[in-house]
Structure 1
Amino acid sequence: MKVVYLSPDFQEAAEFEKEFGQSFEVKHFDNPKLFLNSLENGDRYDVIIDASSPGSPLGINLIRTIKNKFTATIPVIWIADSLVPATVQRMLMAAGVSDIFYQKYDKEKLSTRINYLARISKMDMHPRANSAFAYKYPLGKRIFDIVVASTALLFLSPILLVITLLIKLESKGPAFYYSYRVGTGFKIFKFWKFRSMRQDADQLLDSIKAFNQYQTPAKEQVEEGYSLCKTCAEGGVECSNKLINEQGQLICEQQYIESKKTKSGAAFIKIANDPRITRLGMFLRNTSIDELPQLYNVLRGDMSIVGNRPLPIYEAEKITTDEYAARFIAPAGITGLWQVSKRGKGNMSEAERKALDIEYAQKFSFRKDLYILLKTVPAMFQKENV
């Protein structure tokens, strides 16, 4: 029996193969293109084990692509790092996931489940995902979005043309810029903006990450090299779950998890006084004019006028677990609650932004959208360079 293991972590894949290699033929893929190429070349697999995060390139969108592109139904088992909220569970099932296990799985139970799903798949009895579950914008909200976006594009077209010419005159490169963003239900789409940065802005990001306003202060960083975690040390007891870190030292599993979170950095990246921004780009950003091309995304149905900001993939991967995944249940929007609440303020923490996203996801309504829109106008003309 052939089992695919999808994960960017080679060590994790090696451990899985060591554990199940005697029972199944395990093939590891850390790249979605390589896996899709394998399927297109005629390779057949009995079960897919996906151990990535939902918003990663190996996540929900890859599973959707497989289910839509290939007629053969391959059962998918999701291996999650932590508890998956019910809303995210429904998204996984709708994408084609058959079952969810957690990292500390029971080997015998997982092996039994793999064999069972493989058998019923071959008998063409694999339980289909409930495709009826997918986020659908309320009809009133969708009509409002189409009317507003169409009207705005019509009346603003002369201004859009002038801005396009000014961008081309100031610096080399295209006037429009797109990046891949993760929106509602972890859907990945092309997110359009007026270019406000130098052409090599993406290449310069690593060199200025230290100035990220959401970065955890150094004093809060988790130290390495403890033999006990803080809780166990204070209680005078030995940690029950111990691991060995890269330096060969004993480390509590909880301490390792916290250390890994710290190393991965903040979930959001926003640089105050970003040196990559052009002079015209600074004006476009401070007035939010650079966001106007997203009206096209609204017409396409990728976004709404009001909603939670769609995130770059590298940010979305960090908040697709625990309660924070709830922010992806709401519509993706041009403007939203956190933008009008504390836009650009240096004292806005990552936790506050996440909380505002979740608040909107749980309580959004047409009335609340109108309130946010009214507050968006003064928020556009800010003093902070964000």
Structure 2
Amino acid sequence: MESEPGKKGSFRVVLIENDPERISLLNNDFGALVDIITEPEYTQALDYLEMGNPVDLIICKDSAGYSDFLKSLRKKVYFHSIPVILFKEHEETDPKAVQGQVIDVFSLPYPLEALQIRLNYLIQKKQYSEAARTPYKPTRIRSPFGKRAFDIVVSATALLMLSPILAVVAVLVKLDSKGPVFYRSKRVGMGYRIFDMYKFRTMRTDADKMLANMASLNMYNVAPSVPVSDLCEECQLAGTECRQVLFLDNEKICEKLYHQKQKAKATFSKFKEDPRVTKLGKFLRNSSIDELPQLFNILLGDMSFVGNRPLPPYEAEKLTSTGYARRFAAPAGLTGLWQVTKRGKSKVSDLERIQLDVLYAKKYSFKTDLIIMIKTVKAVFQKENV
């Protein structure tokens, strides 16, 4: 067994080779980069490994016995993490033999540059894993102390005073239609934190299944997205085939047309005269009684009385760009700037709503919260079916 003297933290390679010329060549090419421990036979290499010597990589060739050697590595759990590079001398290599930890197969004579790139990658990977790195822990965004104190005191008081009403509504929901009393859904709030938001159930139990067929009723739709042609307007005018081809899910489509369709899709979903809503649900929604269980979310700290509406994850994931993501710097709210300025208006765009959310995140204060809460009282009992 031959070994190059190594330094602490060096990368140790076991080379299974009995050709002096190839051993010398590898040492000349990579001796300065890694510590090379040479074993002439597979059995000796296995003995070296079983003695507990630290090994970062094994290099061997597809000579007699290599298949059994690789099988032996697979049988022992503590050898599973050692990657193997195989030098190919023969035309055909047994595919079953190279399954598992063989990460590369190089034909001999080995390509110097490709092998060097692979070794550099493995060395850097080891250095990264051994480095004393403190994992990044994002700081949780918190509401201002005064705002949070107000939320706790008022929500606890409101829950105590409204408990008889909550009990009556719970019974009515149960009698009105089949299904649970409360509706619980995942929402994304302040700092992209996901939580369970609670409401009184106002929809049929099969509401989610009906959603796919209701895209045309969405109030936020820019325009019906009915493709007239498979080509964009530019390609149609030029009278040519698509000049900006995009392959998506193995389908060939025009890139410009694809982006036009994506822009036409609404970020938010809201429906006028929603057919999924129950008879009692319409009253609960118009009076905002359905949202009273969110007082528990406020008490728990998931939400605040005033803020930006918490979004379902599929809507929140569309708002991760720098300008849009600013809305998540504000607390999730029971009511907010958008609700008191645009609630019930059919002509409202995605951008208009997002801009109002971002504006609140930049400007919110105790004074603005009080103004919004006063305006909310006026807006609560307006007649709307959204």
Q: TM-score w.r.t. structure 2 length?
A: 0.62
Match of 1:225 in 2: 230
TM-fit CA distance, 1:369? 0.6
> SS at 1:310's partner residue?
coil
> SS at 2:353's partner residue?
helix
Please, which runs of 5 or more residues in structure 2 have no aligned partner? 1-79, 82-117
CA distance in 2, matches of 1:127, 1:206: 44
Match of 2:361 in 1: 361
Higher alpha-carbon Rg: 2
Task: Tell me how large the CA RMSD over aligned residues is.
Answer: 3.3
TM-fit CA distance, 1:249? 5.7
The answer as to 2:322 corresponding to 1:315 is no
CA distance in 2, matches of 1:115, 1:356: 50
Q: 2:216 aligns with which of 206, 210, 213?
A: 210
Letter in 2 for 1:205: L
TM-fit CA distance, 1:118? 3.8
TM-fit CA distance, 1:346? 0.6
Distance 1:248 1:292, change over 3 A: closer
Superposition pairs of residues 114-153 of structure 1, within 5 angstroms: 118-131=125-138, 133-153=139-159
Superposition pairs of residues 267-346 of structure 1, within 5 angstroms: 267-346=267-346
> SS at 1:270's partner residue?
coil
CA distance in 2, matches of 1:250, 1:156: 56
Q: 1:225–1:249: 8 Å Cα contact kept in structure 2?
A: no
Match of 1:259 in 2: 261
CA distance in 2, matches of 1:223, 1:112: 53
Q: TM-score w.r.t. structure 1 length?
A: 0.62
Match of 2:54 in 1: none
TM-fit CA distance, 1:247? 8.9
Q: CA deviation digits over 1:87-138, x for unaligned, max 9?
A: xxxxxxxxxxxxxxxxxxxxxxxx999879844442142243144x220110
Greater Cα shift, 286-295 or 313-322: 313-322
CA distance in 1, matches of 2:151, 2:121: 44
TM-fit CA distance, 1:234? 9.7
CA distance in 2, matches of 1:368, 1:204: 38
> SS at 2:203's partner residue?
coil
Distance 1:256 1:278, change over 3 A: closer
Q: CA deviation digits over 1:265-312, x for unaligned, max 9?
A: 211111111111111111110010100000100111111111000011
Q: 1:224–1:259: 8 Å Cα contact kept in structure 2?
A: no
Q: CA deviation digits over 1:175-234, x for unaligned, max 9?
A: 11111111111111111001111122122111222211111212x7776533x775x999
The answer as to 2:189 corresponding to 1:187 is no
Letter in 1 for 2:275: P
Q: 2:221–2:266: 8 Å Cα contact kept in structure 1?
A: yes
CA distance in 2, matches of 1:234, 1:365: 54
Identity %: 50
Match of 1:67 in 2: none
> SS at 2:191's partner residue?
helix
Q: 2:245–2:252: 8 Å Cα contact kept in structure 1?
A: no
CA distance in 2, matches of 1:213, 1:310: 18
Superposition pairs of residues 46-125 of structure 1, within 5 angstroms: 118-125=125-132
Q: 1:229–1:239: 8 Å Cα contact kept in structure 2?
A: no
> SS at 2:198's partner residue?
strand
The answer as to 2:204 corresponding to 1:198 is yes
Q: 1:191–1:294: 8 Å Cα contact kept in structure 2?
A: yes
> SS at 2:383's partner residue?
coil
Number of matched pairs:
271
> SS at 1:371's partner residue?
helix
